[in-house]
Structure 1
Amino acid sequence: MMLGKAIRLERMFNRNTGRTIVVPMDHGVSVGPIYGLVDLKGTVNQIAEGGANAVLMHKGLPRCTHRGAGRDIGLIIHLSASTSLCPTPNAKTLVGSVEDALKLGADAVSVHVNLGDETERHMLHSLGEVTSKAAEWGMPVLAMMYARGPQIENEFAPEMVRHCARVGEELGADVVKVAYTGDVESYATVVESCCIPVVIAGGPKLDNTTDLLRMVHDSIQAGGAGLSVGRNVFQHRDVSRLLKALNGIVHQDWDLDQAVEFMGEKLD
């Protein structure tokens, strides 16, 4: 089983850099078929052409995206869900299993946990169940860990993000996705406190491409293992070109100037 997990992780991560570019496309459940997620096959083809390592989606979508023409790309099946229509949208529930992902040929599964929510205990229980089952099958687990609840004043505070990363690590995840803390120094403390790869989330839709490139560049400088960014990628005006720039930063050690120039923009 350890060999199986190693092989799947090598499909998810670049073997030479040990880093990854993941594009989540699970937003259709939470907010509906937003721009970028209507022509799923077309968007996934652009993402693959740009050089992303994997896409992340719910179990019903691979039949729309991973068959027929187009370049192949890694697949992560998301097992958690809630909708914006619910009075408690931060309360995630399991809607799939490790076995579902195996049947789909997935390379990994992911689980979403919001620490601080009133239903935190249920989400932690779900994460623990998934990591145990995944270990039996040699399936990697990506834990999306956020601090979101009535007592959370700042979900981007370094101490909060460190706590999130540590919970994912301690409950058996193989990769943890957390918010970016805003600067190299503080994010480095998150990476240093975790013995598994840490990738950044994209957060809300950013105003410009340069802000995204800077965030990804700085996270790599801090020792991060890459990114798992959705809307800021699949809703971009040129998805493939943006991913080529991100690929340059994550896998080719481009500096920020190179990436910004490649996108035809200028640093402030």
Structure 2
Amino acid sequence: MSEIGKRVRIERILDRNSGNTVIVPMDHGLSMGPIDGIVDMPKTINAVAEGGANAVVIHKGIVPFGHRGYGRDVGLIVHMSGSTSLSPDPNEKVLVCTVEEAIKLGADAVSVHINIGSKTEAEQLAKLGEVSRACKEWGMPLLAMMYPRGDGINQFDEKAVALAARAGAELGADIVKTNFTGSVESFKRVTAGCPVPVVVAGGPKMKSEEDILKMVEMAMEGGARGVAIGRNIFQAEDPTKMTKAIAMIVHENASAKDALEFLRSE
């Protein structure tokens, strides 16, 4: 029965028509505080939902403030990992939620953040294994945010990204979020080596709208099944239009050029 539950829930994350997804992480408040774009959570969640986001990622304590009983529906992914920017080692992530708590909150999926190559990699992998077991038991989809991060590690290196993505799949993730490697061909090798859907992270706020749309286009050409982009959406001048522009590429196979023309249209 748990497999049926997982199938029902994951259909709220992966679009039924395209099989892809536009996820907007908004879990930054724990690590960075109330930064621009996530001060008024209902307003921002409404903006990206109306733009066509498939799901948002938030921490358990924000769910009551971001729950939507109006407008366009959007999937709920409860983030289970945490650390703050004031920590001596921001790469260390601890579990701050359980799968059972997420179920009680009505989550469609849960997510965990794992830094491969960090000083606490072993502990983080053990926690990923524990969460994966609980997700299987309860029929809960698992999004694993897998990043190569640590001393001397290039977090965009193809081999490092491929290892991080594969590690997520090896330990039971249903969807893996990781960094884009900078080219279509290198990212094709990453997605080829990961048997579960891969979505790309947006990372820090980019200099231009064109940059983010071009990255999304290349990632999709490289085999990505969507995006998990936070600041480049919720800190955009118009989060609803930015979400729509990205969704055009992810779900409709539009070009970055066409998406940019839409974004800049009146």
TM-score range, shorter chain: over 0.9
Match of 2:235 in 1: 235
Query: What amino acid sits opposite 2:148 in the alignment?
Result: A
1:137 aligned partner: 138
CA distance in structure 2 between the aligned counterparts of 1:263 and 1:198, rounded to whole angstroms: 25
- Deviation >3 Å, runs of 4+: 67-70
Residue in 2 that maps onto 1:18? 19
Trace 1:78-227 onto structure 2 (pairs within 5 A).
78-152=79-153, 154-227=154-227
Q: For residues 135-187 of structure 1, give each alpha carbon's deviation from its aligned partner in whole angstroms, at most 9, with x where no partner exists.
A: 000000000011111131x1101001000001000011000000000010000
Map of 1:244 onto structure 2: 244
The 1-side partners of 2:120 and 2:131 are apart by 17
SS at match of 1:110: strand
Secondary structure, aligned partner of 2:11: helix
Shift of 1:204: 1.5
Whether the 8 Å CA contact 1:165–1:177 is kept in 2: the answer is yes
Give the distance between the partners of 2:84 and 2:3, measured in 1 at CA. 35
- Alpha-carbon deviation of 1:101? 0.7
Note if contact 1:116-1:151 (Cα within 8 Å) is conserved in structure 2.
Answer: no
Contact 1:176 1:199 in 2 (8 A): yes
In the alignment of these two chains, the number of paired residues is: 264
Superposed displacement of residue 256, structure 1: 1.9
Paired with 2:28 and 2:168, the residues of 1 have a C-alpha distance of 22
Q: Secondary structure at the match of 1:61?
A: helix
Q: For structure 2, list consecutive stretches of 5 or more residues without a partner in the other structure.
A: none
Separation in structure 2 between the aligned mates of residue 68 and residue 131 of structure 1, nearest angstrom? 30
Aligned residue for 1:186, secondary structure, equals helix
- 1:47 aligns with 48
Give the RMSD, CA atoms, in angstroms: 1.0
Shift of 1:70: 3.4
Classify the secondary structure of the residue corresponding to 2:129: helix
Q: Is the 8 A contact 1:66 1:72 kept in 2?
A: no
Query: Does structure 2 conserve the Cα–Cα contact (< 8 Å) formed by 1:134 and 1:140?
Result: yes
Q: What amino acid sits opposite 1:104 in the alignment?
A: L
CA shift for structure 1 position 16: 1.2
The residue type equivalent to 2:35 in the other structure is I
Percent identity for Structure 1 against Structure 2:
53
TM-score (norm 2): 0.97
Q: After TM superposition, give the deviation of residue 205 of structure 1 in Å.
A: 1.1
Structure 1: distance between partners of 2:130 and 2:231 = 29
